[in-house]
A and B are shown apart, each in its own frame.
Chain A
Amino acid sequence: MALTGLDIYKLLPKTNCKDCGFATCLAFAMALAQKKASLDKCPHVSAQAKEALESASQPPIKLVTIGSGENKLEMGNETVMYRHEQKFYHPAGIGILIDDTLTEAELADRVAKINALSFERVGQKIAPDLLCIRNSSHDKNQFSRVVRQVASSSQMNLALYSNDAAAITEAIKACTGRRPLIIGAEAGRLDAFVKLAKENNAPLAVSCANLEEAAQLTDRIKKSGVEEIVINLGREGLARHIQDFTFARRTALKKSFRPLGYPIMAFTGTDGADLELAEAITYVMKYTSLIMVKCVEKDFMLPLLVARQDIYADPQKPVQVEPKIYEVGKVTKDSPVAVTTNFSITYFTVAGEIEASKVPTYIVCCDSEGMSVLTAWAAEKFTAEKIADTLKKSGIETMVAHKRVIIPGYVSVLSGKLEEVSGWKVSVGPREASGIPVFLRNWK
C-alpha cells in the first residue's frame, strides 16, 4: 500500500533544515508521496526510514516476468481483491504441461497442437502463454533433449520443471534469451535452485506445503538475492487452494506483507480429467497468476482463454465491437437495417435477438466509444448526426435497395432530426432488445 504524505513525514527528521530544497519536512513529504521528489534529496534521513520508505514504494505484489520481448508473460502487481474496485492488471498466464517422457513424435504432435491454439475474439488475439516441460523421466539427458526440441519448435514462453537442479542447469542452455521460469525449488534444496536462478537471471517458482512455509521460503530466497519469485502451493485440492490464494492476496494487499506478495501458480489435475476445465476456470477467477493445464483440445482452451479475457477486462473500459456493418442471417437488398452502439453487450444482445427472430437483418454499429444506447445518447456519442454519418460512411446505402432504418426505442427523440440529416426514413424499434423478434416480424 502506498504511503501518504503524513506517513512519510513521520519517518523524516522533522528539522525543517531546507537542505532538500523544500521549505519544510512536511512539504518534502507531500512531494515524495506524489512522487515529485526523491528521497536522496534529504541528506539526514536515517537508514531505517530509508528502508521503510523504499519498501513502501514497492508494489504489494511483486511483478514477475517470464520470457522476454513481445510475448513475455508478466504476473503480479495486482492491487485489489475484487475487479469492481479497479481492475485486475495482469491476466493469468495459461501454461501447458509437457512431460519429457513423450517420444519425439508424440512431442512434435503435442507442440503442433499447442501452436494451433490461437484464437481471435473481440479484436484481441488470445492464446496460451507458456509451455512447462516436466522432468518426469528423472533423466537429465532426456530432459535436455526434450527442452531443446520444444524450445526450437515453439516461440512460447518456457518453464523448466525438475526436482534436480543439475538437470535444469543443463537444459536451460537451450533457452538462451528465453528467460524461462524455473520450477522445483523447495525447502530441502533451495540453495542449488537459487544459484541457478541467479546465474541465469531467471524467475524461480518455489514449492511450499502451505502459506506459512511459503512466507519463510520466499523470504529466504529474496535474502539470497533472487527477487522474482512465484509461489507454488502443494497439491491439496481446489477448495484449500482458492482459500489460500485469497488469504495470500488479501494479506499481501491489506498488510503489505511482502513474503506473500508474489504471484501464485497452480497445476490442475487434482480431481480427474473431466473436471480439469472447471478447475482451471476456478483458478482464473480466484487470484492465480499462472495456471498449468494438461488438455490441449480447442474446446477446452477456448472457454478457458475467454474466461480469462472476461475477468481481466477493465470494468471502467467497456469492451467494444468494431463499428461497422454486421450481417445477421442471409441478408438481401430488402433486409431491414438496424442501428445500435458498439458496446459489446449491446451489440451481442441485439444480434442475439435478431438471430432469434429469424429475420435476416443488417446491424450498423456506430462508434459510441463502447457506451450503451442511453449512456451514449446522454454523452452525445449517439446523435442524429453521428448515426447519419455512420450510415453514409459504412456503405450500407449500396447494400440495400431501400432507405429505411430502425433505431432503438430509447432514442426515439432522434427520429425527426435523423430523417432530416440522413435522408433515411426512420422507424422506432422496441426499447428493450427482447422486443426485437416481434418487431422485426412485423417490419415491412
Chain B
Amino acid sequence: MGIELVKEKYSGGINTVEIGKAGRGPVKIGGETTLPFLFEEGQMPHPPIAGLEVFDCEPVDWPEPLKKAWGDSLKDPVKWAQRCVSEFGAKILCVRMQSIHPDWGGRPSDEAVATLKAMAQAVKVPLVVLGCGDDDKDNEALPKASQALKGENCLFGIATQDNYKTLTATCLADGHSIIADSPIDINIAKQLNILISDMGFDPKRIAMHPTTASLGYGMEYVYSIMERARLAAFIGDKMLSMPLALFVGQEAWKVKEAKELGEKQGVNWETATSVAMLQAGADLLVVRHPETARLVTKYIDMIMRKR
C-alpha cells in the first residue's frame, strides 16, 4: 500500500540570534523552519543549547541539592563561573546580577559591575546577563553592565512591557541582543517585540521569554503558548519569529517536588521541564544543576543525530 504522509511546509522561519564573538563562542540560536526535531519537514540549523546559571553573589536561598552540587564555589562567583565552563563544559553562561536587589543587600551597581566584569574575563563563553528583577535597580545597573561588556555581543535581559526602554537603548548602544519577556501571552509578546523594534532595535537581535513555569506548575500553559507562537511565525508573523529562551532552573528548583526525596528528583524535575520545553520549541535553556546541564545536552545531541 502506497501511503502519502501529510507533511507540513511552512513559508516562515525563526530568526537566528548570535551570542558572543570570536574568542567568546559565538553560539547561534534559532533558525528553525519546522517544529522541534521534525527534520523531514524543515531545518533546525542550530541545536538548542542548555547553559548554566550563576549569580554574582552567594545564592543563599538556593535549595540544599543545588548548594551541595556546587559546594564552596557558590561563595566565589568567578570560581563558580570558571567551574561551569572548565569542569562542566558549559557552552554559554547566564549571569544574574542578584546582588543589587534590595532584598539581597542592594550592593552598589558599580561593585556589582566590577564582579560581572571579572566573571566575564574569567570565562571565554558567550554570556547571558540578567538583572535582579527590581526595575529601579536594574535600570541603574544594567546600562553600566552593558557598557562594561561593550562589543562582547551578550544577550541582556529582561525587558518587560512596562520596563523596556532603558535596556533597549543601552543594548542598542553597546551592541548586545535582548530578551523580551511576556506573561504567557502571545499578544503581549508580539506587542513588546514591536515596541522594542520601534526604538530602532533590530528584531533579529531579540529572543523571547514566554514565561517559564515548572513541570506541574503551569508548564502546559507555556508549552501551548510556545507552540502557538511558533506556528504563527511559520506562517509569516515576523514579530513572533524570535528564538525562545527559558529559565528552567529558576522555576524548577522553586517547587516542593524538586526539593523532597533527594537530589535526583530535583535534577529529574529540572530535566523533565527542560525536555518538555525543547519539545515545544525552546532554543536556549538556562538550568542550575550541573547534572541537568549534562543530561539535557546529551539529550539534545542524541535527538539532533536524527535517528
Binding site for B on A (CB under 8 A): 82-84, 121, 211-212, 215-216, 219, 236-240, 242-243, 246-248, 250-251, 254-255, 257, 259-260, 271, 274-275, 277-278, 281-282, 285-286, 297-300, 302-304, 306-307, 309-311, 313, 315, 344-345, 348, 352, 356, 434, 437-438
Contact = CB atoms under 8 A, between A and B. Distances in A.
A240 B307 contact: yes
B276 A239 contact: no
B61 A299 contact: no
Contact of A259 (B3, B40, B133, B275): B3
Interface string B194-226: 000000000000000000010111111101100
B6 A250 contact: yes
Given A82-B228, A299-B261, A307-B276, 5 more contacts: A83-B220, A215-B1, A239-B303, A239-B305, A310-B219
A345 B305 contact: no
A315 B224 contact: yes
27 contacts: A238-B302, A239-B39, A239-B306, A239-B307, A240-B307, A242-B279, A246-B35, A247-B7, A247-B40, A250-B6, A260-B3, A277-B272, A278-B299, A298-B265, A302-B265, A303-B257, A303-B265, A303-B268, A303-B269, A304-B272, A309-B216, A310-B276, A315-B224, A345-B221, A352-B254, A352-B255, A356-B61
Given A239-B307, A243-B40, A278 B223 contact: no
B295 interface: yes
A139 B84 CA distance: 51
B264 interface: yes
B128 to A, nearest CB: 20
B307 A237 contact: yes
Interface in B280-307: 280, 295-296, 298-299, 302-307
A82 B227 contact: yes
Chain A binding surface, main DSSP class: helix
B10 to A, nearest CB: 14
Contacts of B102: 438
Nearest to B300: A278
A345 B1 contact: no
B298 to A, nearest CB: 6
Q: 4 closest pairs, A vs B, by CB?
A: A237-B307, A299-B265, A303-B272, A310-B220
Contacts of A286: 279
A243 B38 contact: yes
A298 B103 contact: no
B246 to A, nearest CB: 15
B73 to A, nearest CB: 24
Given A275-B299, A306-B216, A240 B306 contact: yes
Given A121-B216, A282-B275, A313-B220, A251 B302 contact: no
B257 A236 contact: no
Contact of B3 (A84, A251, A299, A311): A251
A271 B302 CA distance: 8
Contacts of B228: 82, 84
B262 interface: yes
Given A239-B307, A243-B39, A300-B268, A212 B217 contact: no
A254 B6 contact: yes
A324 B272 CA distance: 30
A82 B3 contact: no
A304 B38 CA distance: 23
B271 interface: yes
Q: Which of A84, A216, A300 has the most CB of B within 10 A?
A: A84
A278 B275 contact: yes
Interface in B153-173: none
A246 B261 contact: no
Contacts of B231: 82
A307 B275 CA distance: 10
A246 B38 contact: yes
Contacts of B271: 277-278, 303
Q: Which of B102, B215, B255, B280 has the most CB of A within 10 A?
A: B215
A263 to B, nearest CB: 18
B1 A259 contact: yes
A269 to B, nearest CB: 13
Contacts of A277: 268, 271-272, 275
Nearest to A356: B61
A281 B220 CA distance: 13
A282 B279 contact: yes
B22 interface: no
B6 to A, nearest CB: 5
Given A277-B272, A281-B272, A282-B279, A438 B264 contact: no
B47 to A, nearest CB: 12
A239 B36 CA distance: 10
Contacts of A121: 216
Nearest to B225: A84
A281 B264 CA distance: 16
B306 A212 contact: no
Nearest to A303: B272
B96 to A, nearest CB: 15
Contacts of B254: 352, 356
A307 to B, nearest CB: 6
Nearest to A122: B216
B247 interface: no
Nearest to B291: A274
Contacts of A243: 37-40
B269 to A, nearest CB: 5
A255 B6 contact: yes
B133 to A, nearest CB: 7
Contacts of B303: 238-239, 282
Contacts of A302: 257, 261, 265
Contacts of B296: 278
Contacts of A274: 295, 298
A238 B300 CA distance: 11
Nearest to B2: A212
A288 B307 CA distance: 17
A239 B37 contact: yes
Nearest to A242: B37
Nearest to A250: B6
A238 B231 CA distance: 23
Contacts of B223: 83, 285, 310-311
Contacts of A352: 254-255
A344 to B, nearest CB: 7
A160 to B, nearest CB: 29
Contacts of A307: 215, 219, 272, 276
Contacts of A313: 220
Contacts of B103: 437-438
A275 B37 contact: no
A216 B6 contact: no
A306 B298 contact: no
